[in-house]
Amino acid sequence: MVNTLENIQTLSAEAIALLKNLIETPSFSKEEENTARLIADFFTGKNIPFHTKKNNLWAYNKHFDASKPTMLLNSHHDTVKPNKSWTLDPFKAIEQDGKLYGLGSNDAGGCLVSLIATFCHFYEREDLTYNVAIATTAEEEISGKEGLEIVAPELPEIAFAIVGEPTEMHLAVAEKGLLVLDCTAKGISGHAAREEGDNAIYKALKDIQWITEYKFPKVSPTLGPIKMSVTIINAGTQHNVVPDVCTFTIDVRVTEQYTLEEVIAEIKANIQSEVTPRSIRLRPSSIPMDHPIVVEGLKLGRNAYGSPTTSDQALLDCPSLKMGPGHSARSHSADEFIYLHEIEEGIAQYIKMVEGVVTR
């Protein structure tokens, strides 16, 4: 099917209208029921059947065939809360000078409606070699457990995914995972005036020194080295008591060169403190440079890079590509906006890339 300019313009107009409604409907993480309803109404208006779980919706192309592989389009409809620096009404969709202002316009409303438009474009196609699924999900901004994580088990096996986040439509072919480790150094209390006790702070400092200096040997070609940062430390009750406990927290940004379990094991083997991971959910992700969807993106002149930030890619157990209209620097900023032309161009580029894969 030829992607005419008229078709793209129609899809874009529908996407922008939906985005304006989403902006004007508050959808903080865990409070997305009203935007979920808007998306449901949009699908209903298109006669597209969909499934729901909590504040998540997902749908499949009309001619879904279980014998074919499935690609997933995914983005989120929750937002952070507006910061105090906003000069505009964050819940009013304001169109001005080619920009659409409003909370969630850039992160990730523009991506979401562009992927919905892409899904609609392919929905009735009978010539696809892949099924096309879309999941519009909740709680991404807080890495919550009732977003994509509860949808993924309901989906068929996913061959690959496009996760919509603002990347200027460049190709984030790898993304760092996140480990948060709570550590406890234990000593023996005593009076600070005498040679008593075993100071837990000093034990923690030795471990922190190792964390500061250690370099994991395998370096990612796209993400660089693993990065470890001690971000919280607590110890002591009063000035004249040698502390018997010192706790500290390590923020670890993990590349695709290691599993989270391997990183935890390496840290435990080299420090004395007890190490407790808060979770092992947010895993690093990547997609091969020769994957067809990446190749199609490169054909369009898009750049490939590794992303240091974490998204819902971390919850997918398949090759995944992060990309979408908008600019990450605008995310969570005051007077957030997306350019209207970014949405139209994003839809066109998504469609060209997907077309090159699902009609082979």
What's the confidence (pLDDT) of residue 176?
Answer: 94
What's the confidence (pLDDT) of residue 28?
Answer: 98
Residue 137 to residue 194: CA distance in whole angstroms: 59
Q: Is 2 exposed, middle or buried, given 0-12, 13-18 or 19+ CB atoms closer than 10 A?
A: exposed
Residue 232 to residue 253: CA distance in whole angstroms: 16
CA 145 to chain centre: 13
Instruction: Write phi, then psi, for 327 (nearest 5 degrees).
Output: -125, 130
What's the confidence (pLDDT) of residue 285?
Answer: 92
Residue 170 tokens read as 């460049």
Instruction: Write phi, then psi, for 120 (nearest 5 degrees).
Output: -60, -35
What's the confidence (pLDDT) of residue 1?
Answer: 44
Q: Is 186 exposed, middle or buried, given 0-12, 13-18 or 19+ CB atoms closer than 10 A?
A: middle
CB-based contacts of 82, cutoff 8 Å, min separation 6? 90, 103, 334
C-alpha pair distances (Å), 290 with each of 39, 251, 296: 34, 32, 10
CB-based contacts of 58, cutoff 8 Å, min separation 6? 50, 51, 133, 134, 135, 136, 151, 154, 155
Strand locations in the chain (E)? 51-53, 56-60, 70-76, 94-96, 99-101, 131-137, 158-163, 171-175, 177-186, 190-191, 227-235, 241-242, 245-254, 274-277, 285-286, 304-307, 320-322, 337-339
Residue 55 tokens read as 């504040």
Q: Which of 335, 308, 273, 346 has the alpha carbon at shortest distance from 105?
A: 335
Q: Do the Cβ atoms of 201 and 236 come closer than 8 Å?
A: yes
| Residues listed for the chain | 360
Residue 245 to residue 340: CA distance in whole angstroms: 55
Q: Do the Cβ atoms of 273 and 204 come closer than 8 Å?
A: yes
Q: Do the Cβ atoms of 174 and 307 come closer than 8 Å?
A: yes
- pLDDT tens for each residue of the chain, 360 residues long: 445 677 999 999 999 999 999 999 999 999 999 999 999 999 999 999 999 999 999 999 999 999 999 999 999 999 999 999 999 999 999 999 999 999 999 999 999 999 999 999 999 999 999 999 999 999 999 999 999 999 999 999 999 999 999 999 999 999 999 999 999 999 999 999 998 999 999 999 999 999 999 999 999 999 999 999 999 999 999 999 999 999 999 999 999 999 999 999 999 999 999 999 998 999 999 999 999 999 999 999 999 999 988 899 999 999 999 999 999 999 999 999 999 999 999 999 999 999 999 987
Please state whether the predicted TM-score (pTM) of the whole model is above 0.85. Answer: yes
HEC string of 218-273 equals: CCECCCECCEEEEEEEEECCCCCEECCEEEEEEEEEECCCCCHHHHHHHHHHHCCC
